[in-house]
Amino acid sequence: MKHLITSLLLAACVLPLSAEVLKNDTFAKNLRGWNAPAYWAGKVSKVKVDGKDCLLLESGKRNDELFGRALGYNRNINYFPGDTVKITVKAKGEGKLACGALAYHFGKGQPNYCRDGARDLTSEFQTFTFTCKLNERFEKLLSFIEVQGVGKVYVESFHMETVVPAAGSVKSDKDIQMASVKNPVKAVTFSTSFKNQEFTISLKNGNNVTYQKVKADSNGKISVATEKLTPGFWEISASNNGKNAIAYVEVQPETIYQATNDTAKKIKLAKPVRVLFLGDSLSDFYRGYNYIDRISFWVNKYNPGKFTFRNAGVGGDFCKRMEDRLNGALVKRNYAYRQNMYNGLFDEKFDIIFLFLGQNDTRSFRKTNFTKQETPPALQQKCLTNICKILKSKFPQAKIIMIAPSPSYEKLFLDRAKKWNPSINMVMYGKKDLVDLYHAENKKFCAANNIPYIDILSVMRAAPSIKDLYVSDGVHLSPLGGRVIADEILKFLAK
């Protein structure tokens, strides 16, 4: 499962410091999504120049304007005020070349054009560099190539990436914090090496973003007042010329906050507890505010500093991948997909291990008429047996606990199967009979091996709106979905 999104993904409280490659095209196979939309002018085609595949953009006429503009799709990540995007293009032609990006705000609305002037084209290939500095938070960027006036441009390669300064750092001081109107979080704080410098603070709630300027003090502390935040899920970021950090505050309805708070009060840790979470993208994605981070907040609220964890979730995982990766960790060889996610796993000590799989194990495909899941029952039992055997051998004192599969938003995929062309070999998540079969096999395995089982499946299916538990893809958890799962695990711990 992609992230799709966003993939995109945030680290718990510190955003990645390495450059993000957004687009890297050589046009060897095809135009890779480049097109000239009808609302612009120009024509796009693929041609060979000196034996090399190139994108050809020719100008056209729109009203009294003469130009050509091609749009290219690229990765969506989080973009912050002060971020710089660099575009490197190898091109030749006639006229002037301009490159940049359409920057889209959250939700609907017209995009901003981010561009860096125009360059004169010649009959010989040259390497051009364009930079665009962003002044707001944006949801996505779409790259574009533009030839101005009567002309044409041959593009041999197009590379787009974010630019991250080598020096300096900023990070948030806490993971996600839960609050209510009556029990507010008074401030969110950040630590930075940019002492006495001004930061742009963005406060995002849904599609609404507001900005303020806050100066770091002489100790490198940034404090953002948050006690007046209205109900909702808030992302608070601190940005300074390409260095960004983000923190989260969820202001919950009073009854929900108090119910979870009452549960958390019942959890008493006599000594520090180290917890391992093994799972798929439902654990891996949205680090910093997913269900694991929520559990950590609540347990540590009444047991300060006693609950620590390692999130070893791996997006795209199913039983066999997890088994292979654990075997790879045993012999320290690259046995599995994203083997590095388990690096050093057996060098640690854990008191509790949560196993949370099922999303990918229960997926099915149109080519089998959605009747066969990724992991059939016999393989599920075999993999779980081997997974637990390895975990018990390496962590004999740890308590293994299994979490039921999430149901996904099945209706989204059923509707898609009806609407999409039958020739498209689509994937379906959450098909009820397959999820139920996996759930039944989990329970059978846990009963036979004396492993506690947390049934989140029934709870999520009983939610007032199962759709609201997921983001738009119907698979990955929304903040509400993360809260529901966290609450069930907290109830288990409270027992």
CB 250 within 8 Å of CB 179: yes
pTM of this structure? 0.88
CB 381 within 8 Å of CB 433: no
CB 449 within 8 Å of CB 398: no
107 band by pLDDT with thresholds 50, 70 and 90: confident
Average pLDDT, integer, range 291-302: 98
Least confident of 106-110, 140-144, 231-235, 297-301: 106-110
453 has which bridge partners? 402
Integer Cα distance of 149 and 66 in angstroms? 5
Rg of the chain over Cα atoms, rounded to whole angstroms, equals 25
For 37-69, the pLDDT digits (tens) are 989 999 999 999 989 999 999 999 999 899 999
Average pLDDT, integer, range 288-296: 97
**Does the pLDDT value for residue 258 go beyond 90?**
yes
**Does the pLDDT value for residue 165 go beyond 50?**
yes
Average pLDDT, integer, range 476-489: 98
For 5-44, the pLDDT digits (tens) are 333 333 333 444 467 899 999 998 888 789 999 899 999 9
**Does the pLDDT value for residue 443 go beyond 70?**
yes
Average pLDDT, integer, range 342-349: 97
| pLDDT score recorded for residue 7 | 33
Between 18 and 88, the higher pLDDT residue: 88
Percent of the chain with pLDDT over 90: 89
| pLDDT score recorded for residue 10 | 35
Q: What angle do CA 437, 438, 442 make, to 5 degrees?
A: 120
Neighbours of 188 (CB within 10 A): 25
Coil, helix or strand for 492? Answer: helix
Least confident of 330-334, 378-382, 451-455: 330-334
Domains of the chain (ranges, CATH numbers): 21-163 (2.60.120.260), 170-251 (2.60.40.10), 257-494 (3.40.50.1110)
**Does the pLDDT value for residue 245 go beyond 70?**
yes
| pLDDT score recorded for residue 5 | 33
The amino acid sitting at 348 is E
